[in-house]
Structure 1
Amino acid sequence: MQETKEIHALFTLIDDPDEEVYSTISERIVGYGKGIIPNLEHLWENTPSEDVQSRIEMIIHRLHFTDLTTDFTEWRESAYHDLLFGALLVSKFQYPELQTTPVIQEIEKIRRNVWLELNSFLTPLEQANVLSSILYNYYNLKGGEINYEKSDEFFLHKVLESKKGNAISNALIYQVLCDQLEINARIINIPKQCIIAFYHSDYDPALYPGHPQDKIHFFVDGTSGQAFSHADIENYFKRISVPPVASYFKPVSHKRLIQLLLEELSKCFDSPTNAYKHAELLQLASLLDE
């Protein structure tokens, strides 16, 4: 963006010690939109003061966040809430310059490897075994318990880079592949778990009046790809002393999954210095209320 006299004047006031003045100045700069980011980056490179650099970084973050809020609103209003696109929007919170094309290509490479091994004669369990074998053995994706000290394990592009995710991110990758392969498998809302249910091919949650568990063949742990039977899940509910009500076996919507990802990610930023990121992530999550 061409640096006008007004922009130059605003930039010279970024170091003003009066917080009210700085707040007004930053609001005016943010009002220019993300086109002003290269100017701010140039200013940062030529600023010796670390305090001023920190203020510039915060203004750039606010510009990216404003843009991201618009992207999430558009995703919310879209007819089909593409799960991969939603997860990549979450990644852009921490990595605003993320190029999504390589990530989409990596997912496509995995999808194609799975697709080549599938055929119409395979049972749902055989389909799950093919997908799990390629994702967790051939591709070597690893997973562990959610660790709020490791925020990168929530970002799909970082999970694909390191091949190490957590219960949520691994399950999201698994479901993205199922969606793309037209396998009727979805993440369900079992307490404290990220479990994927493999449904009967004719199951439609909007139309089926009975208990959704009746339409589930089996379950898969999104962290590791391990298959579970109905008895395994029933034993888990007994162990945690929670009744297995129907709502736990209904598929979670894409919108709710991305909201859950944002809510869980926010817990990685609970220190005082990161309190603004915690609040912003919850603000994005609230946009997706159903």
Structure 2
Amino acid sequence: MQQTKELNALFTLIDDPDVEVYSHVSERIVDFGKAIIPNLENLWENTLSEEVQDRIANLIHRLHFTDLKHDLIEWRDSGQHDLLFGALLIAKYQYPDLQTTPVLQEIEKIRRNVWLELNSYLTPLEQANVLSSIMYNYYSLKGGEVSYNKPDEFFVNKVLATKQGNAITNGIIYQVMCELLDINARVINIPKQFIVAFFQDDYDESTYIGHPQNKILFFVDATTGQAHSHNDIENYFKRIGATPIKAHYKPISHKRSLQILLEELSKCYHLPSNETMRNELQELVELLDA
């Protein structure tokens, strides 16, 4: 954005000690939108005061966050709800300058390797074994329990770059693969888990009125790619002292997957100094509910 007299005047007031003055100045700067970010970055580089640099950094973050909210609202209100695109939007919370092309290329590389190994004669379990073998053995994707000391494991761009994720991000990548390969598998609502269920080909959640468990062939733990039987899931419910109900076996929406991702990510920022980040992530959760 071209530097104007108004911008110059506003920038000279960023260091004003009067809270009310700074509040007015910051709101006016944010009103310019993300086009002003390069100007702010240049100002940051040429500022010696750490306090003023912090204020500039905060303004840049506010502009990125406002832009992210706009994009997430567009995603929410679209008819597609592309899961990968939604997860990449969440990654832009931490990495606002994220370039999505390398991520899409990595996803396409995995998809193509799996596709080359699939054929119409494979059973769903054999398809799952091929997918898991490519993702976790050939591609070397690793997964572990959700750790609130490792926020990067909640961002799909970092997971694909480092090949280290958690149950949620690995599950999102696994479901994205299934969708790209026309495999009828979805994340379901098992408590404290992010489990992918492989459904019979004729299962359609919008029309099927029976118990969805009856249409599930088997389950896959996307943390490791290991397949599980119905007995395995029933034993899990016994271990946690819960009674399985119909809702547990229903596929969760892509919006809900992103909400879970955001809710769990927010727990990484548990220190009092990170209260703003927790509040912002909760704001994104609620925005997806609207």
For normalisation by structure 1, the TM-score amounts to 0.99
Q: Secondary structure at the match of 2:187?
A: strand
**Long gaps (5+) in structure 2:** none
RMSD: 0.8
* Deviation, structure 1 residue 23: 1.2
Distance (whole Å) between structure 2 residues aligned to residue 274 and residue 5 of structure 1: 35
Residue 108 of structure 1 aligns with which residue?
A: 108
Moved more, 19-28 or 217-226: 19-28
Residue 228 of structure 1 aligns with which residue?
A: 228
Residue 82 of structure 2 aligns with which residue?
A: 82
Residue 36 of structure 1 aligns with which residue?
A: 36
Distance (whole Å) between structure 1 residues aligned to residue 131 and residue 61 of structure 2: 38
Deviations for 1:241-279, whole angstroms, at most 9, x for unmatched residues?
111101000001111101111111111112222211111
- Residue type at the aligned position of 2:70: T
Residue 14 of structure 2 aligns with which residue?
A: 14
Distance (whole Å) between structure 2 residues aligned to residue 113 and residue 185 of structure 1: 19
* Deviation, structure 1 residue 99: 0.2
Q: Secondary structure at the match of 2:275?
A: helix
Residue 160 of structure 1 aligns with which residue?
A: 160
What is the count of residue pairs matched by the alignment?
290
Residue 51 of structure 1 aligns with which residue?
A: 51
Indicate yes or no: 2:269 matched with 1:265: no
Indicate yes or no: 2:279 matched with 1:279: yes
Deviations for 1:18-48, whole angstroms, at most 9, x for unmatched residues?
2221111110000000010000000000000
Residue 4 of structure 1 aligns with which residue?
A: 4
Distance (whole Å) between structure 1 residues aligned to residue 5 and residue 166 of structure 2: 49
Distance (whole Å) between structure 2 residues aligned to residue 240 and residue 149 of structure 1: 24
Q: Secondary structure at the match of 1:283?
A: helix
Indicate yes or no: 2:136 matched with 1:136: yes
* Deviation, structure 1 residue 151: 0.4
- Residue type at the aligned position of 1:77: D
Distance (whole Å) between structure 1 residues aligned to residue 271 and residue 3 of structure 2: 36
Runs of 4+ in 1 over 6 A off after TM superposition: none
Distance (whole Å) between structure 2 residues aligned to residue 168 and residue 140 of structure 1: 17
Moved more, 39-48 or 12-21: 12-21
Distance (whole Å) between structure 1 residues aligned to residue 22 and residue 10 of structure 2: 9
Distance (whole Å) between structure 1 residues aligned to residue 128 and residue 201 of structure 2: 14
Residue 27 of structure 1 aligns with which residue?
A: 27
